[in-house]
Amino acid sequence: MSHELKTGGDRGYLRIATEEAFATQEQIDLILKMVKEGRADRGTTSLWTFYGASNDERAQLTTKRLLDLGETRIADMDATGIDIAVLSLTSPGVQAYDDVDTAKRVCVDANDILADACKAYPTRYVGMTSIAPQDPEWSAQEIRRGADLGFRGVMVNSHTHGEYLDNPKFDPIFRALADTGQPLYIHPSPPPDSMIGPMLEAGLDGAVYGFGVDTGLHGLRVITSGIFDRYPDLQMILGHGGEALPYWLFRTNFMHQAGVRSKRYECLKPLKHDLFHYMRNNVIATTSGLAWEPAITMAMNVMGDDRVMYAMDYPYQYIPDEVRTYDNFNISDEAKKKLMQTNAERIFKL
């Protein structure tokens, strides 16, 4: 142990954790009911059979912590020196539900519960709005209601029944984001049935690998569909070091341009800028689950040190030693303060 973890900025910066999850009992109960009745997709079944119904100690503790927005969570934040948690409804939100009215009802309740928690701990919690993309127009209204409730961003847990946000039917969601000046966070979800087969076969469908593949694809689909040409000020946040997009950017950009020039795909249209531009003007990476200096400094080098933000991914990776790892990073004091505090303050307008 190299140093004690405290809140209050004793290291020269506050720690703002930006991908912190909560759940509601109703949300989990309904997911488990769908799993039990065989109505959930394969990925949701794989994930929630573990977190919601297994005897594994880490799984049970995680679910207990997800449900708490009170003193236990605050005590855990104090113990790890987290000053502010940016909270969102845990994956898959309400996006896995097959009944749209149920999804909307659970979503509204979750947003209200989060708004109450943010009111109870105004200096510790910041909220993001959850939506039910199953109904894009309704989701646009809920984004506007969330902004009125004081939320500072919108959380989408990757695909919704195999559909991605670049589908033109989701445009009302982007319009509402642009109108309210809020960032979009695309968080992982279990990959859809059309993708997950070979991953499940090898036990690699979840956070170990499948999440990153699906969410990186989602982010890239949003970029290459030209959404940032239509909404040039919009900011899209991707966790887990930007879901590997910074690492692959040179090749992705080269092959994207070659693909556009060849007119090989009807869907691949010319963009106003190259992919480097969007990664440096519209995408923010968080460090959730990736407390690893080589990957984080690489993302900073590619995207700029204004575009990488700290996240713990509580309660899934509630590990005090990870916080110390960040404190001990061999980067400048200025870059560390941006990473831990001021980038989040700018992006979420705190």
Q: What is the closest distance, in whole angstroms, from the C-beta atom of residue 259 to Mn ion in the complex?
A: 31
Which of the residues 18 through 47 are near Mn ion (CB under 5 A)?
A: 19
27/224 with CB nearer Mn ion: 27
Which of the residues 86 through 125 are near Mn ion (CB under 5 A)?
A: none
Q: What is the closest distance, in whole angstroms, from the C-beta atom of residue 190 to Mn ion in the complex?
A: 13
Instruction: Assess 214 for contact with Mn ion (CB under 5 A).
Output: no
176/295 with CB nearer Mn ion: 295
18/343 with CB nearer Mn ion: 18
Tokens 């039917």: give the residue.
169
Q: Which residue is nearest to Mn ion (CB)?
A: 313
Q: What is the closest distance, in whole angstroms, from the C-beta atom of residue 311 to Mn ion in the complex?
A: 8
User: Distances from the Cα of 241 to the Cαs of 96, 126, 140, 311, 334, in angstroms?
Assistant: 25, 21, 28, 10, 20
Q: In the chain, what are the helix, strand and coil shares in percent, each to the nearest 5? A: 50, 10, 35
Say if strands 308-309 and 154-157 run parallel, antiparallel, or are unpaired.
unpaired
Three-state secondary structure along 15-69? CEEEEEEECCHHHHHHHHHHHHCCCCCHHHHHHHHHHHHCCCHHHHHHHHHHCCC
Binding flags for Mn ion, 122-151, as an x/- string (CB under 5 A): ------------------------------
**Which one of the spans 104-112, 154-162, 261-269, 311-319 is the region binding Mn ion (CB under 5 A)?**
311-319
Mark 62-71 as b/e (b = at least 16 C-beta within 10 Å): bbebbbbbee
Out of 313, 323, 347, 348, the only residue in the binding site for Mn ion (CB under 5 A) is: 313
19/305 with CB nearer Mn ion: 19
- Structure tokens of 136? 């894009």
Q: Which residues bind Mn ion (CB under 5 A)?
A: 19, 313
